[in-house]
A and B are shown apart, each in its own frame.
Chain A
């Protein structure tokens, strides 16, 4: 699996939804970051959907960190979707990552961003 096919970008309710899949780890986090940043445009808001991510390590966390910072610098509000009880949520909770930006579903994220 290449980095490209684990990143899909779509538009919903005028927001950009970035979907990541598979493992995001030391082996590919930098590629993922680059792909996401090149594939997204300025939008009302960005949702980073990690529902399909099966593993996230500290490199993945750094990748997320930089993505969020980059979008905020573009004046685009960002939310991260990680389902409760999932493995990604486990990692995020362990490190206490961006608790205000993490929501459970894409719907919830879009509702917040377009409210």
Chain B
């Protein structure tokens, strides 16, 4: 049997013939290092990699061929590890090549002991890690970039969140600036907003006025960014590294954001992309907040106008409305407001506000002069501008207020005419909500409200004049009776009512008295009152009985269709017999005050108000005889009606009040009763009271021709009359003196010596008081101050207890003296 041939070593011809070759040409570097770091051996591979000659390395310390970082690493980590473990693996070491470049390597190191000598050597295998290191570095950079972008996105999200929560457009600046700093480390971030009408970019936010506005035509990056609608990065200069992103929404540019950087800063492409996003996000936020602002402003404005109209309507007179207007406008819309009205070609101040001294002065010019904590340097100019605006009806600006405040003059218009001006000066507290359209709207509303008030005032004035002319007429005079009246308009309204009174003698030797109340207020009621009053007078003078008067009044009301539901009380007193006939048409009962008995209401002779069908079929009257010295009161319901009180309680109060004041002279009684009945609240309705005294107060009456020569006969006549009424001589002379002085005054100053004029003198004695009245109808002119005239008044004042000079259409001098010496 044949034996298999023994395995033979297939010999591979090796490049390396020896271990020496293997060592030198190995695919890694070898280093043998002595404990002190001296390089003992190095293979060719490492020499090739590093570019050193063997002689460069041998005998030198290995650390000197490291980069600085690796040198430190070797000392602090590698050495101690080797000492403890005897070997390390995969340590990254950077060698410095002969040409100075860096060689990244991974090193395994083993510390070998020679048991014989006890010495040790460090063997290091060195692997080229250039590719791996650069790959690692790329990974690292990529990670850093990702992290930075993530951070920027967080910044962006933060900005968007902050932008979403703002309510005012200017508040958008802070989030953008914060984002610019956080995302791009920008040294400056400036936000500019575009005014589309003016084509101007203005800096928004704090510190705004320091930087000039930019016109869109200007050759700057901001203007360029607006035009192209995209991020613009101008060529950097050493002084200026900048990027500008437009604030964009739906292809519209609302403004720009400029990021400024330190010199040398490069702006990366991803940063530009991010800036674009910032611009879009902020643009959307800005658009949203602007819409929100606009909505809020509109809502505020319409609420303000509604409040304005409501408040102005509450006030009645135009002056009151003007006062309310300025109070509403300051400080919300201005620091100072002033209303002027044009009346009959004259401009007159109506109301003005001054924060410090409201109401302290009564002229607008003075208010302007002292208002607003400073003087108005060109006050005349302000006044002239206001006057000019009143004429032209145009808006005008006033530059003259203190501390550079601007003023705006708005025309107040009504019924397509300028009726005045509203001057607003200074900043509005609600600045962002106010614009000129709103102010014009406001001025229109205010103008209408003021004009309505003015027209109403005119109506009231006409009605009042009418009523006054009807109420104040010559009263009949007869020694057998005496009449006193009081008219008190309602407190709460300025409109005149339709209450009236009247007294007249009839041809049968009777006196007729009437008090009536027309339903309604204002000019219609006043004119109806006038017609009814004339009608009653005419019917009574035609010797109709009270019931017949009412019947005819029903016809009158039905025919003319005025004064339906009018109530009235009519009474006729026969002066010779004391026979009193009366009738009440839906009116409160007359009150009779006999001389020696308790007051009592006259409840007979009642029927319904005028113009009512059922009432007109049954007009009733009553009659009774009253003793001399009796008094009769007629009044309207305003006197006895009080809120929360029954009518009978009011009547009881009246009876009580009459009892209390029964000793008073007739005129005083009428006043005292009105005071007593209306004291607590003031009347809420007009009040009319007529008091008739039968054979009451003695009366002296004289119509004196306005000649000084007639003074003497007058004195004689009065003297005699006073004597006849038991006025003691000691008092007579003084009374005559006072009367003579008053008449002389009337002749001298009232009529300026016009001899055809007449001075009327009446004297009554009632309840221990003497009342002296001297009246003229002349146009009183202020006399030159003279000791003479002063003495005349002084004499009157000293002789009499009370002296009242009442100047209206003429002059009435009223004097009263309590008679000391008589028993009356």
Contact = CB atoms under 8 A, between A and B. Distances in A.
Interface string B687-724: 00000000000000000000111011001000000000
B624 interface: no
Interface string A11-39: 00000000000010111100000000000
A35 B483 CA distance: 48
Nearest to B799: A94
Contacts, number: 59
Interface in B713-764: 715, 733-734, 736-737, 740-741, 744, 747-748
A87 B792 contact: no
B75 interface: no
B787 A59 contact: no
A40 interface: no
A90 B733 contact: yes
Contacts of A25: 708, 711-712, 740, 744
Contact of A55 (B709, B737, B789): B737
Contacts of A23: 712, 715
Interface residues of B, number: 24
Contacts of B799: 94
Contact of B744 (A26, A61, A94, A95): A26
Contact of A59 (B712, B715, B733, B744): B744
A27 B709 contact: yes
B791 A62 contact: yes
B795 A27 contact: no
Nearest to B791: A58
Interface in A50-83: 55, 57-59, 61-62, 65
B741 A57 contact: yes
B645 interface: no
B218 interface: no
Q: Which of B709, B736, B791 has the most CB of A within 10 A?
A: B791
A23 B799 CA distance: 19
Nearest to A86: B733
Contacts of A28: 708
B519 to A, nearest CB: 52
Contacts of A58: 741, 744, 788-789, 791-792, 795
Nearest to A30: B708
A110 to B, nearest CB: 28
Given A94-B795, A94-B798, A94-B799, A27 B711 contact: yes
Contacts of B795: 57-58, 91, 94-95
Interface string A89-103: 011001100000000
A2 to B, nearest CB: 12
Contact of A26 (B734, B748, B787): B748
Given A23-B712, A27-B711, A87-B733, A95 B794 contact: yes
A26 B733 contact: no
Nearest to A90: B733
Nearest to A25: B711
A94 B708 CA distance: 23
Nearest to A1: B712
A91 B711 CA distance: 17
B791 A26 contact: no
B734 A90 contact: yes
Nearest to B733: A87
Contacts of B788: 58-59, 61-62
Nearest to B793: A58
22 contacts: A23-B715, A25-B711, A25-B712, A26-B708, A26-B744, A26-B747, A27-B708, A28-B708, A57-B741, A57-B744, A58-B741, A58-B744, A58-B788, A58-B789, A59-B788, A62-B787, A62-B788, A62-B791, A91-B795, A94-B794, A95-B791, A95-B794
Interface of B: 707-709, 711-712, 715, 733-734, 736-737, 740-741, 744, 747-748, 787-789, 791-792, 794-795, 798-799
